[in-house]
Amino acid sequence: MPKVNNEPKPNKRPKKFKRPTVKKSQKYLVTQDNRFIYAKYGDTTANELKFFYYIISKLNSISDKAFEACEIPINEILGETLSHESEDNYTYIKNLCRSLSKRILEDETLVFDPLTNKKEEMFEVMAIFKRIQYLKRKAVICYQLNDCLKPYLLGLRKNFTQIPLQHILPINSGYAIRIYQILLSELKQNRNEVTMPLIQLQDVLCVPKSFYKWDNFKRNVLEPSIKEINATTDIVASYRTKKERQKITQIVFEICYKDLQKRKDQAKDKEQQRIQIEVIKPLTELKDKTLAYPTDPLDENAIIALVYRGMHEIKEVKGKLQVVLTLEEANNPRKKQPLIISNAHQIEKLKAMHENYKKKFFTQNASKILKNKDGKGTAYIQQIQENLKKRKEEEKAIENKPKPLKEIQTQTLEANPNQEAIVKPMTKELGNLFQQHLTKKDPPNQ
């Protein structure tokens, strides 16, 4: 009978956990100036745009100073960006490079002319790539962007939009990619509604002339793009139209984030933006101004003078932002009083309080203001000069007045204290010699 080993067997070593591989494209951000989003660069296909945005996502929009010559392996492009499955990759990549080399950027902007001191329209055309080549043996694409694109892609500090590349790659329509970028850039500026002229949108997308008719544009461009954006991206969009004389002239897009937290964050950002525009910015006009703050609503004369020195604090109360001002009393700066402001209407009230204080001040100090009507204080300066002149004349008159002998002697003694110490012992030694000489007559001649 075979022996049975009942001892517990040692546990097998667990298999090493393999982390799921993350594509490089999921880490990349497409950073571009908002002007570039609205620029025209032809009727580009989805794969051309994806390849171009993949190149842009590798740039550092802050630290990079110039466009350098770079290489991209073919498998990286086909596997991550284009998801192209074809046996003849060489022909496909060659045609892609050929079409990209012909793409140009058209930019229509307003520029300031220092000679005429006016803004003028400028139309500029530039090639997107300086050079692009495909090396079949090394299986790489060598490229270098045109230096004319620097203002749109490098050194960006404001008015730019960052889009994760992974949000663009699932979209299969070039029109949908362009519309998604436009809507997302507006959404990131806290706009949930965007109105665009129909002709402007058609011009930016570079649609063929056959699509300028509304029915064709709606059926072939707008409807499929909105449907794909809602299905594959992180935003939801819808649209309605506006007519002029029975003709559709404008499209109004309504957009929002799919994620609830992003919608909450956007609402908070919009509230902060509103506070900055409606409250914080107008408050600078009231800095160091005195307000006639009413203490009794039934008594117009019951007021207290408060001064705003620029001290304020933003607080959140029940999901709404409020600005708490710190005002100080004009007669006693040590005493502080808080005041809560939350909208532009209350700012107008503060301005009215300042105007009320100015009226009361001018009525009470009309005579002083009239004396100083030139604003330089000449009336007060003349009065001060006259007072100084009168004082100097009085001092001269006192100095020129004759003084009594005793006062002069005392002044000389005070001025020369050692003289009294010399005169006293001389009078003791000589006695009344000088006095007798002055009173007695000379003896007769013998």
Decide if pLDDT at 321 tops 90: no
Q: Which of 332, 364, 396 is the last residue of a domain?
A: 364
pLDDT digits (tens, 9 = 90+) for 131-164: 998 888 888 899 999 998 898 899 888 889 999 9
CATH code at position 215: 1.10.10.10
**94 in the same domain as 207:** no
CA separation for the pair 78, 74 (Å, rounded) = 6
**126 in the same domain as 32:** yes
Q: Within 13 A of 34's CA, how many CA atoms are on the CB side? A: 12
Q: What is the pLDDT of residue 378?
A: 63
**Domain presence at residue 246:** yes
> Residues 257, 187: contact at Cβ < 8 Å?
yes
pLDDT digits (tens, 9 = 90+) for 258-311: 988 888 888 888 888 888 888 888 888 888 888 888 876 666 667 788 888 888
* Averaged pLDDT for residues 11-26: 47
pTM of this prediction?
A: 0.66
**152 in the same domain as 119:** yes
**160 in the same domain as 31:** yes
**205 in the same domain as 96:** no
**425 in the same domain as 293:** no
**Domain presence at residue 150:** yes
**Among residues 223, 64, 73, 79, which one has the least CA distance to residue 145?**
64
**157 in the same domain as 43:** yes
Q: Which run of H or E residues covers position 197?
A: strand 193-197
CA separation for the pair 123, 111 (Å, rounded) = 10
Encode 319-358: b = buried (16+ Cβ within 10 Å), e = exposed: eebbbebebbeeeeeeeeeebebbeeeebeebeebeebbe
* Averaged pLDDT for residues 31-51: 89
Q: Within 13 A of 112's CA, how many CA atoms are on the CB side? A: 2
Q: Note down the domain range covering 202.
A: 170-258
Q: Which of 139, 166, 193 is the last residue of a domain?
A: 166
**Domain presence at residue 294:** yes
Q: Which of 131, 166, 201 is the last residue of a domain?
A: 166
**189 in the same domain as 249:** yes
**Domain presence at residue 12:** no
**180 in the same domain as 137:** no
Non-local (6+) Cβ contacts of 20 within 8 A are none
**175 in the same domain as 135:** no
What's the total number of domains in the chain?
4
Decide if pLDDT at 179 tops 90: yes
pLDDT digits (tens, 9 = 90+) for 100-122: 888 888 877 777 777 788 888 87
Q: 222 burial class (0-12, 13-18, 19+ CB within 10 angstroms)? A: buried
**201 in the same domain as 67:** no
Structure tokens at 342: 């939350």
**30 in the same domain as 124:** yes
